A = this chain, B = another copy of it.
Amino acid sequence: MMNISIIGHHITKFGELWDRSLQDLLTEALQNSVNQAFERTGLKPGDIDAIFVSNKASGSFNHQRHVSALASEHFDHFPPAIRVEAACASGGVAIMSACQALRSGQYKTVLVVGVEKMTDASAAETTQILASAANMELEYGSTFPGLYALLAQAHMTAFGTSRENLSAVAVKNHRHAVSNPTAQFRREMTLEQVSNSALVADPLRILDCSPISDGAAAVVLTSQDVSDRQSTTATIIGQGQGQDSLDLASRASFTELAATVRAAKEAYTQAGVAAKDIQMAEVHDCFTIAEILASEDLGFVPKGAGGEAVIAGKTTYGGAVVINPSGGLKACGHPVGATGVKQLAYLASMIEKGACELGLTHNVGGSGATAVVNILAKKGKKGLSR
């Protein structure tokens, strides 16, 4: 597989950013990521061959329905720009599409920028916008917390996953977010605070849920063997996209996301690595139960052991794999279109800092209808079977 390097990246502050517009966020992520790439490699603005924009619903959130054109305007040569969308997995599929375009040979260097400015809409509107990434179950009035609550109940029934297990995911991710300067919530939580927070959809409580967020993230990807002043550039060595039915009612199992299993299998095979080799993972913890499912479906722990693994410290520093070092969707925030790109950008920065040599990102849309897994390695990492 062609080697694709992440030569620039930027993540804006995530949060309720009342003083910043969709365009402000897009511009910050775009300009900083390309400037970093240019400084590191000597590439110039005219070398950006195309732009892939990840965004879920700027048409409804911000009355802006041609966001890809706004991204292209930042360059004098107006590179081709498209928007790629797959609900909350938009960032993951935008990265997939960008890599396919690079591997086709049509483009050599591309920008992927994910953005969502959610607080321009009311919380009620936002809930409806998010909930409509479902199908039949939407007609019965279910929203996303309701759907993931069903998955949580099934997991608790099948494996004895406890209220404390769920809370431990939130506690860990809030602790991780303290060291992430762009995270939405940089404060620790106790198990008791999470377990006693307001009930949203039994058993999920408000502190089991990722927040409504504004933010953007961008990465510059190249297939060229540019001379990079950054000695520890991250490269994408494996990718996979998996699907399942949009309706939960049509799925074979409630205790796994088959889309994640399919995406992971493809990505691990392409990369020539196994789950046990992964040191850090940014996974899609839109709800605490989602991280437990991911830790199992990605192969980090056996099926059913995800809840206890968090309590035992297996998914934080000192454990087998650090899950959601950024704080995850839960504490770093979840500006939907930005999330999948942020995962890649954050992991690239961890690799550059020497905190990780082999990592994984995992982005989910439509309560498990779509999942994308990327595997990243430090450039030239030894010991890979590839």
Within 8 A of B (CB), among A53-111: 56-57, 59-60, 63-66, 68-70, 72-73, 78-87, 93, 96-97, 99-106
**B residues less than 8 Å from A106 (CB atoms):** 100, 103
- Report the separation of the CA atoms of residues A22 and B382 in the bound assembly, to the nearest whole angstrom: 50
**B residues less than 8 Å from A66 (CB atoms):** 86-87, 133-135, 246, 365-366, 369-370
* A65 engages B129 (CB within 8 Å): yes
**B residues less than 8 Å from A241 (CB atoms):** 80, 82
Contacts A80-B243, A100-B100 supplied; 9 other A-B pairs, CB < 8 Å: A59-B132, A69-B135, A69-B246, A70-B246, A72-B369, A97-B97, A99-B104, A100-B106, A103-B105
**Taking CB as reference atom, which chain B residue is nearest A64?**
B132
Q: What residues make up the interface of A, taking CB atoms closer than 8 Å to B?
A: 56-57, 59-60, 63-66, 68-70, 72-73, 78-87, 93, 96-97, 99-106, 128-129, 132-135, 138, 241-246, 250, 259, 262, 365-366, 369-370
**Taking CB as reference atom, which chain B residue is nearest A244?**
B78
Picked from B60, B79, B80, B93, the residue with its CB within 8 Å of the CB of A60 is B60
- Report the separation of the CA atoms of residues A105 and B103 in the bound assembly, to the nearest whole angstrom: 8
* A97 engages B101 (CB within 8 Å): yes
Min Cβ gap A74→B in Å is 10
**Taking CB as reference atom, which chain B residue is nearest A70?**
B246
* B82 engages A82 (CB within 8 Å): no
**B residues less than 8 Å from A93 (CB atoms):** 82
**Taking CB as reference atom, which chain B residue is nearest A2?**
B104
- Report the separation of the CA atoms of residues A299 and B105 in the bound assembly, to the nearest whole angstrom: 28
Min Cβ gap A135→B in Å is 7
Q: So how many copies of this chain end up in the complex? A: 2
Min Cβ gap A151→B in Å is 17
The residue among A64, A72, A93 with the most chain B CB atoms within 10 A of its own CB is: A72
**Taking CB as reference atom, which chain B residue is nearest A52?**
B97
- A370-B97 in contact given A59-B60, A72-B243, A87-B69 (Cβ < 8 Å): no
11 contacts between A and B (CB under 8 A): A59-B132, A65-B129, A66-B135, A68-B370, A69-B366, A69-B370, A72-B370, A78-B243, A78-B259, A81-B86, A102-B104
* B104 engages A243 (CB within 8 Å): no
- Report the separation of the CA atoms of residues A259 and B99 in the bound assembly, to the nearest whole angstrom: 24
Picked from B81, B132, B246, the residue with its CB within 8 Å of the CB of A63 is B132
- Report the separation of the CA atoms of residues A135 and B129 in the bound assembly, to the nearest whole angstrom: 22
- Report the separation of the CA atoms of residues A135 and B132 in the bound assembly, to the nearest whole angstrom: 25
**B residues less than 8 Å from A103 (CB atoms):** 103-106
**B residues less than 8 Å from A86 (CB atoms):** 66, 68-69, 81-83
**B residues less than 8 Å from A262 (CB atoms):** 78
- Report the separation of the CA atoms of residues A103 and B2 in the bound assembly, to the nearest whole angstrom: 13
**B residues less than 8 Å from A65 (CB atoms):** 56-57, 87, 129, 132-133
**B residues less than 8 Å from A102 (CB atoms):** 104
**Taking CB as reference atom, which chain B residue is nearest A247?**
B73
- Report the separation of the CA atoms of residues A69 and B106 in the bound assembly, to the nearest whole angstrom: 27
Min Cβ gap A238→B in Å is 12
**B residues less than 8 Å from A81 (CB atoms):** 86, 243, 370
**Taking CB as reference atom, which chain B residue is nearest A63?**
B132
**B residues less than 8 Å from A259 (CB atoms):** 78
- Report the separation of the CA atoms of residues A138 and B63 in the bound assembly, to the nearest whole angstrom: 9
Picked from B60, B85, B87, the residue with its CB within 8 Å of the CB of A85 is B85
* A83 engages B80 (CB within 8 Å): no
- Report the separation of the CA atoms of residues A70 and B262 in the bound assembly, to the nearest whole angstrom: 18
Min Cβ gap A368→B in Å is 10
**B residues less than 8 Å from A134 (CB atoms):** 66
